[in-house]
């Protein structure tokens, strides 16, 4: 095992790698609860999402462990699950159609992984827009958490308003949020997971959490009919593009960040990048066929690296722990059914995604406004795709009229025109 994972060469050992794997798992385990809780709102059966979440995490993480030998864990990404629900709600399509879009995005991502187009795409899109997309998704997620908690409610006059703190669900949400914030402030490892656990305990003693069992035989995976034809008949091309774009940026950015932290970068490049990106693409494709949204490299992997994780043994431990959770579907189902437990995690994860905005040059209007437009349009239109489209239209336009048109990659002008046509002829898609 030491030789296979090159532990001595990397300056680590089995004990450190196991501890790192446990730490990473605890910081990202919330996805096993949160993903089914979100997707079930779109009508996807809980057990289907539960199985798909774990299987896609295990498949992607094992590829990362054995092929890339990186301490970077894979699982269904946050934001894309919330977007899935909004597409089902606003487009009037079935979840089978949207999973068809996810599968197409996964296949395209897999194909791009073996070409130079991925690098061209990443290099052509300016950093400001990338930061804006990540932050916009963060607000999108946080807004969902605020609605689930009851802190933000619908209002006929102002669209949204502050909720009732006396409502038991809202009160439990606020309590859970404060507990989790304190844990994070105190740098407690696995703070999100522990916060959810404590909130669940409080909910249980308040009589709000009904637990009918702890462990059981894992549910059987269900392969359902993906409606790929529906993607074309409903013109969901922007949805496919949004999934593809966000997955590429999210994964690449996270992998580079975690690899830098673990001192695995060589001359500014990521060795075995294709193997690492393949892990994500395969996990996304597998997840779509079972019932989950695109997978991504998890930034929570940095918590495992912080305690010394440097090899694929860290991610092997994460994969094994995800497999073990297959036997705890009853307790996960109970926790998922009480939104007050999962809402604080969404709000906090949303805040984590704001950090990139510090890198935007807000004094340069042609950089600042497109970023602002992306960030504000995503939550207000309940569409990640619309936010991306507005950014891709305004960025090249402002650069062109500020005399900096040559700084913009030609591919951005092409995307800008495509998005203008799409918003005129296929609004809402």
**Tens digit of each residue's pLDDT (9 = 90 or more) over 369-421:** 999 999 999 999 888 888 999 999 999 999 999 999 999 999 899 989 988 98
Neighbouring C-alpha atoms within 13 Å toward the C-beta of 371: 24
- Whether residue 281 is predicted with pLDDT greater than 70 in this model: the reply is yes
Look at residue 218 and tell me if it is in a domain: no
- Whether residue 241 is predicted with pLDDT greater than 60 in this model: the reply is yes
Look at residue 351 and tell me if it is in a domain: no
Look at residue 44 and tell me if it is in a domain: yes
Mean pLDDT of 46-61: 95
CB 22 within 8 A of CB 315: no
CA–CA gap between residue 360 and residue 371 (Å, rounded):
8
**Band of pLDDT at residue 284, cut at 50, 70 and 90:** very high
CA distances from 138 to 53, 77, 157, 406 (A): 20, 12, 26, 31
**How far is the first Cα of the chain from the last one, in angstroms, to the nearest whole number?**
49
Look at residue 417 and tell me if it is in a domain: yes
Q: What is the pLDDT of residue 405?
A: 92
Q: What is the pLDDT of residue 235?
A: 87
CA–CA gap between residue 138 and residue 347 (Å, rounded):
8
**Band of pLDDT at residue 277, cut at 50, 70 and 90:** confident
Mean of per-residue pLDDT scores for the chain:
90
Look at residue 303 and tell me if it is in a domain: yes
**Band of pLDDT at residue 259, cut at 50, 70 and 90:** confident
Q: What is the pLDDT of residue 428?
A: 57
3-state class (DSSP) for residue 229? helix
Name which residue leads in pLDDT, 420 or 1: 420
**Band of pLDDT at residue 229, cut at 50, 70 and 90:** very high
Strands (DSSP E) contained in 226-377 are 295-297
**Token pair for 422:** 């799409």
**Tens digit of each residue's pLDDT (9 = 90 or more) over 165-201:** 999 999 999 999 999 999 999 988 888 989 999 999 9
- Whether residue 252 is predicted with pLDDT greater than 90 in this model: the reply is no
Strands (DSSP E) contained in 283-422 are 295-297
Percentage of residues in the chain having pLDDT higher than 70: 99
**Tens digit of each residue's pLDDT (9 = 90 or more) over 56-103:** 999 999 999 999 999 999 999 888 898 999 899 888 899 999 999 999
Helix (H) or strand (E) holding 74: strand 74-76
Q: What is the pLDDT of residue 264?
A: 84
Look at residue 352 and tell me if it is in a domain: no
Q: What is the pLDDT of residue 101?
A: 95
**Band of pLDDT at residue 426, cut at 50, 70 and 90:** low
Positive or negative: CA dihedral 97, 103, 104, 105: positive
Look at residue 353 and tell me if it is in a domain: no
- Going by the DSSP 8-state scheme, the letter that residue 64 receives in this structure is I
**Band of pLDDT at residue 272, cut at 50, 70 and 90:** confident
**Band of pLDDT at residue 223, cut at 50, 70 and 90:** confident
- Whether residue 429 is predicted with pLDDT greater than 60 in this model: the reply is no
CA–CA gap between residue 248 and residue 243 (Å, rounded):
9
Q: What is the pTM of this model?
A: 0.84
CA–CA gap between residue 64 and residue 250 (Å, rounded):
16
Q: What is the pLDDT of residue 322?
A: 97
Q: Give every CB contact of residue 338 below 8 A, 6+ residues apart in sequence.
A: 169, 172, 200, 203, 208, 209
**Band of pLDDT at residue 228, cut at 50, 70 and 90:** very high
- Determine the longest span between alpha carbons in the chain, in angstroms: 65
CA–CA gap between residue 42 and residue 419 (Å, rounded):
26
CA distances from 420 to 172, 390, 391 (A): 44, 9, 11
- What domain range includes position 190? 7-213+225-346+361-425
- Whether residue 214 is predicted with pLDDT greater than 90 in this model: the reply is no
Look at residue 175 and tell me if it is in a domain: yes
CA–CA gap between residue 308 and residue 325 (Å, rounded):
24
Name 75's bridge partners: 296
- Whether residue 425 is predicted with pLDDT greater than 80 in this model: the reply is no
Number of folded domains that form the chain: 1
Report which of 254, 250, 255, 238 is spatially closest to residue 105, judged by C-alpha positions. Answer: 238
Report which of 247, 151, 131, 176 is spatially closest to residue 30, judged by C-alpha positions. Answer: 176
**Tens digit of each residue's pLDDT (9 = 90 or more) over 110-157:** 998 888 777 777 778 888 998 999 899 889 989 999 999 999 999 988
Percentage of residues in the chain having pLDDT higher than 90: 63
- Whether residue 225 is predicted with pLDDT greater than 90 in this model: the reply is no
**Tens digit of each residue's pLDDT (9 = 90 or more) over 315-356:** 999 999 999 999 999 999 899 889 999 999 999 989 988 988
Strands (DSSP E) contained in 89-217 are 152-155, 159-162
DSSP 102-125: HHHHHHHHHHHHTSSHHHHHHHHS
**Band of pLDDT at residue 49, cut at 50, 70 and 90:** very high
């Amino acid at each position: 095992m030491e030789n296979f994972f090159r532990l001595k060469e990397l300056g680590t050992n089995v004990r450190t790698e196991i501890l790192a794997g446990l730490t990473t798992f605890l910081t990202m385990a919330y996805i096993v609860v949160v993903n089914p809780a979100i997707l079930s709102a779109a009508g996807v059966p809980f057990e289907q999402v539960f199985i798909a979440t774990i299987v896609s995490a295990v498949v992607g993480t094992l590829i990362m462990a054995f092929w890339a030998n990186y301490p970077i864990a894979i699982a269904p990404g946050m934001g894309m699950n919330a977007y899935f629900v909004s597409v089902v709600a606003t487009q009037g399509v079935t979840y089978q159609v949207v999973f068809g879009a996810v599968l197409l995005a996964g296949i395209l991502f897999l194909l791009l992984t073996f070409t130079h187009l991925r690098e061209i795409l990443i290099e052509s899109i300016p950093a400001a827009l990338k930061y804006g997309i990540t932050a916009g998704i963060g607000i999108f997620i946080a807004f969902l958490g605020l609605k689930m908690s009851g802190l933000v409610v619908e209002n006929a006059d102002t669209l949204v308003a502050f909720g009732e703190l006396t409502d038991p669900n809202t009160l439990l949400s606020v309590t859970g949020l404060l507990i989790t914030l304190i844990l994070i402030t105190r740098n407690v490892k696995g703070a999100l997971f522990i916060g959810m656990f404590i909130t669940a305990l409080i909910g249980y003693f308040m009589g709000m959490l009904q637990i009918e069992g702890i462990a059981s035989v894992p549910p059987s995976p269900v392969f359902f009919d993906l409606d790929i034809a529906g993607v074309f008949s409903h013109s969901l091309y922007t949805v496919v593009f949004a999934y593809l774009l966000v997955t590429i940026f999210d994964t690449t950015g996270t992998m580079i960040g975690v690899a830098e932290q673990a001192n695995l970068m060589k001359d500014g490049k990521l060795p075995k990048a294709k193997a690492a990106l393949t892990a994500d693409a395969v996990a996304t494709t597998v997840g779509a066929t079972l019932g989950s949204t695109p997978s991504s490299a998890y930034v929570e992997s940095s918590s495992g690296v912080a305690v010394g994780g440097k090899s694929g043994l860290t991610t092997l431990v994460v994969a094994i722990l995800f497999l073990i959770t297959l036997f705890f579907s009853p307790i996960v189902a109970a926790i998922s059914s009480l939104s007050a437990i999962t809402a604080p995690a969404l709000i906090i994860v949303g805040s984590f995604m704001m950090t990139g905005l510090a890198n935007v040059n807000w004094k340069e209007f042609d950089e600042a406004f497109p970023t602002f437009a992306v960030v504000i349009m995503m939550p207000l239109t309940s569409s990640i795709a619309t936010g991306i489209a507005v950014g891709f239209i305004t960025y090249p336009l402002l650069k062109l009229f500020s005399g900096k048109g040559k700084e913009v990659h030609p591919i951005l002008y092409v995307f800008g025109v495509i998005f203008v046509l799409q918003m005129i002829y296929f609004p809402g898609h």
